[in-house]
Structure 1
Amino acid sequence: MDIYLIRHTTPDVEYGTCYGFADLDLAHTFPAEAARVKELLPNKAFSVYASPLQRCSKLATYLFGEDFRKDDRLREVNFGDWEMRTWEDIAITTPKTWMTDYRYDPMPNGESYAQLYERSVKAFEEIVQHMRQDTAIVTHGGVIRSILAYAMKTPLSESHDLRVEYGRVAHLHLNGNGLEVKAVNI
């Protein structure tokens, strides 16, 4: 069976802004970007899961209609006090020690990358356990990066090297030997 991890299209937010849990709308380029994503997917029935944030649920609706499950665990990382601040401002006000252990040190009133990884992988494992047909998951870059790191057995310390662009798809195949990553950023 196949699993398609789909990242939402470009959000309507100023470049350089930190966002994760913020429920942003999509940029004016959504129709063209969503049409491109649709062309990348096979024309067949899917079980569909999505982050409840509108940038994912809008794309899921465009691609698959209203019949999908929203799962809070598929939300992007919670940046806590950093939500909707610029990265430049965050860099000025954040102790340099945070950067030495950012994978495990949570953002102020938010979560760490390791916490995002744990919840993303747990959600993914449950989805896979209940799969009865090909599945699409419409979610965020951090969640997809976490799932790909898990599937590829990439250490957490190297997983930030996995890039997933807006409106891109990663294709995984589940067989008797486990998960195989077929393509990333198609």
Structure 2
Amino acid sequence: MTTLWLVRHARPLIDTERCYGRLDIQADAEATQSAALRLQQALLPHRGHCRIFHSPLQRCEQLAQALIELQPDFISDADKRLLEVDFGHWEGQRWDAIGEAAISAWARNLAEHAPGDGESLVHMLGRVGSALQDAKALDAEHVVWISHAGVARCAQWLLQHGSLLPQSHEWTLPAPAYGQFMQLSL
């Protein structure tokens, strides 16, 4: 059986009251180093049996690079399927400025509505599902994804519910805190 490690990037250098899904922003350098050290210590017993992938956004790339600096025999490959959801023209706006009507429209049709004319959850579930299929096919005991909260929720949903589409009241899955990780069985 393969263990999937869902690792969330460190705290981004942005007001977290803003919608920042695909904004390519850096993470706090000190928090990134701390996260890399925790992850290295957790992965060390498995280092010969793990494959590491990361979102190409710089806050995830920072963590992947920090991990590799600590443990040079680790290699991480960028995978676009591990990107956070694209919030379109909502990106960079404060959540309270987006407006209740726009957020309610998204909540009414969580799976198929593309918030900010960006990416729908159906599309995101499809790309994360593709990455999950590839992870299951790898000859690795441990697969590590350095990515985002939305990717972690999608992976959990797909492993628990398959192709069923979530309603907004069902989209309550946890995600790792900044710089933390969780493990799932594939």
TM-score w.r.t. the length of structure 1 is 0.82
In structure 1, distance between residues paired with 2:131 and 2:170? 18
In structure 2, distance between residues paired with 1:95 and 1:151? 27
Q: Residues 95 and 11 of structure 1: is their aligned pair in 2 closer, same or farther, counting only changes over 3 Å?
A: closer
CA contact (8 A) 1:48 1:135 kept: yes
Q: Structure 1: which 5+ runs fail to align?
A: 174-178, 180-186
Q: Secondary structure at the match of 1:161?
A: coil
Q: Kindly provide the CA deviation profile for residues 6-26 of structure 1, in whole angstroms up to 9, marking residues without a partner as x.
A: 111111111201011111100
Q: Does 1:24 align with 2:35?
A: no
Deviates further, 100-109 or 6-15: 100-109
Name which of 19, 32, 36 aligns with 2:38.
36
In structure 1, distance between residues paired with 2:97 and 2:179? 27
Aligned length: 174
Identity %: 26
Q: Bigger relative contact order, structure 1 or 2, given CA contacts below 8 A and separation 6+?
A: 2
CA contact (8 A) 2:32 2:66 kept: no
The corresponding residue for 2:157 is 149
Q: Does 1:49 align with 2:53?
A: yes
In structure 1, distance between residues paired with 2:104 and 2:76? 42
The code of the aligned residue for 2:5 comes to: Y
Name which of 114, 123, 128 aligns with 1:120.
128
Q: Residues 159 and 120 of structure 1: is their aligned pair in 2 closer, same or farther, counting only changes over 3 Å?
A: farther
Q: Residues 138 and 96 of structure 1: is their aligned pair in 2 closer, same or farther, counting only changes over 3 Å?
A: closer
Q: Does 1:103 align with 2:119?
A: no
Q: Kindly provide the CA deviation profile for residues 143-180 of structure 1, in whole angstroms up to 9, marking residues without a partner as x.
A: 1110011112275235521121212212123xxxxx3x
The corresponding residue for 2:181 is 169
Q: Kindly provide the CA deviation profile for residues 55-87 of structure 1, in whole angstroms up to 9, marking residues without a partner as x.
A: 111111222357211111110000001011110
Q: Residues 14 and 36 of structure 1: is their aligned pair in 2 closer, same or farther, counting only changes over 3 Å?
A: same
The code of the aligned residue for 1:34 comes to: A
